[in-house]
Amino acid sequence: MSKVWRVAKTEYLNLVRSKAFLVSVFLMPFFSGGAIAVQTLLGDRVDLRDRRVAVVDGTGALLQGLERAADERNAGETMERGAQVRPRFVIEGASGDEMALSARVRSGELFAYLLVPQGVIRREPGEVTYHTQSPTYEDLPRWLRNTINGEVRRIRFEQSGLDRRLVDELSEPVPLRQYGIAEVTATGEVKKERLNELQTFLAPMGAMFLLFMLVMMAAPMLLNTVLEEKIQRISEILVSSVSPFELFLGKLLGNVFVSWTLFLIYVGGGLFVAAHYGALHVVPFALLGWFLFFQLLALLIFGSIFSAIGASCSEMRDAQSMMTPAMLIVMMPMFVWFVVLKSPNSPFAVAVSLFPPATPFLMLMRLAIPPGPAAWEVAVSVVLTAGFTLFCVWAAGKIFRIGVLAQGQAPSYRRLVQWIFSR
Partner 1 sequence: MDAAVRLEGVTKTFGAHRAVDGLSLTVPRGAIFGFIGPNGSGKTTTLRMILHILYPDAGRIEVLGSTSRRAANDRIGYLPEERGLYRKMTVRRVLAYYAGLKGMRLSAARGEADAWLDRLGLASWRDRKVEALSKGMQQKVQFIAAVLTRPDVLILDEPFSGLDPVNLEALRDVMLDLKRRGATVIFSTHDMTKAEELSDTICMIFKGKKVLDGTLAEIQAQYGMDTIRVRVSGGAGALAGLGAGVRDLGQLQEVRFEGDPQELLRKLLERGRVEHFEVKKPSLHDIFLRIAGNGR
Count CB-CB contacts under 10 A for residue 83: 9
- The number of residues that bind partner 1 (CB under 8 A) is 21
CA angle, 19 as apex, 16 and 24 as ends, to 5°? 80
Least distance in angstroms from the C-beta of 9 to partner 1: 9
Is there a cis peptide before residue 371, judged by omega within 30 degrees of 0? yes
Report the candidate in 94, 97, 89, 102 with the shortest Cα–Cα distance to residue 131. Answer: 102
DSSP H/E element including 51: strand 51-57
Q: Which residues pair with 116 in a beta bridge?
A: 57
Q: Could you say which residues in the range 393-422 bind partner 1, by CB under 8 A?
A: 405
Stretch that binds partner 1, among 10-18, 35-43, 63-71, 202-210 (CB under 8 A): 10-18
The set of residues, in sequence order, having a beta carbon less than 8 Å from that of 11 and lying 6+ positions away, is 225, 250, 251, 253, 254, 255
Nearer to partner 1, 222 or 363 (CB): 222
For residue 39, state whether it binds partner 1 (rule: CB under 8 A).
no
Nearer to partner 1, 241 or 343 (CB): 241
Nearer to partner 1, 225 or 304 (CB): 225
Count CB-CB contacts under 10 A for residue 108: 10
DSSP code, position 201 = I
Least distance in angstroms from the C-beta of 408 to partner 1: 11
Nearer to partner 1, 151 or 229 (CB): 229
Nearer to partner 1, 11 or 57 (CB): 11
Least distance in angstroms from the C-beta of 239 to partner 1: 5
Stretch that binds partner 1, among 5-13, 188-196, 338-346, 360-368 (CB under 8 A): 5-13
Q: Say how far apart CA 414 and CA 315 lie, in whole Å.
A: 19
Stretch that binds partner 1, among 4-12, 111-119, 261-269, 280-288 (CB under 8 A): 4-12
Q: Could you say which residues in the range 225-254 bind partner 1, by CB under 8 A?
A: 229, 232-243
Q: Say how far apart CA 316 and CA 228 lie, in whole Å.
A: 9
For residue 3, state whether it binds partner 1 (rule: CB under 8 A).
yes
Please report the beta strands in 58-170, taking only residues with DSSP state E, as ranges in sequence order. 79-80, 83-84, 89-93, 112-116, 129-132
Please report the beta strands in 162-288, taking only residues with DSSP state E, as ranges in sequence order. 183-184, 190-191
For residue 7, state whether it binds partner 1 (rule: CB under 8 A).
yes
Least distance in angstroms from the C-beta of 225 to partner 1: 10
Task: DSSP for 263-286, please give it.
Answer: HHHHHHHHHHHHHHTT-GGGS-HH
Report the candidate in 216, 398, 415 with the shortest Cα–Cα distance to residue 311. Answer: 398
Least distance in angstroms from the C-beta of 230 to partner 1: 9
Nearer to partner 1, 18 or 84 (CB): 18
Least distance in angstroms from the C-beta of 240 to partner 1: 4
For residue 23, state whether it binds partner 1 (rule: CB under 8 A).
no
Contact status, residue 248 vs residue 307, Cβ threshold 8 Å: yes
Nearer to partner 1, 218 or 297 (CB): 218
Q: Say how far apart CA 219 and CA 259 lie, in whole Å.
A: 8
Least distance in angstroms from the C-beta of 17 to partner 1: 8
For residue 2, state whether it binds partner 1 (rule: CB under 8 A).
yes
Nearer to partner 1, 237 or 383 (CB): 237
Binding site for partner 1 (CB under 8 A): 2-3, 6-7, 10, 14, 18, 229, 232-243, 405
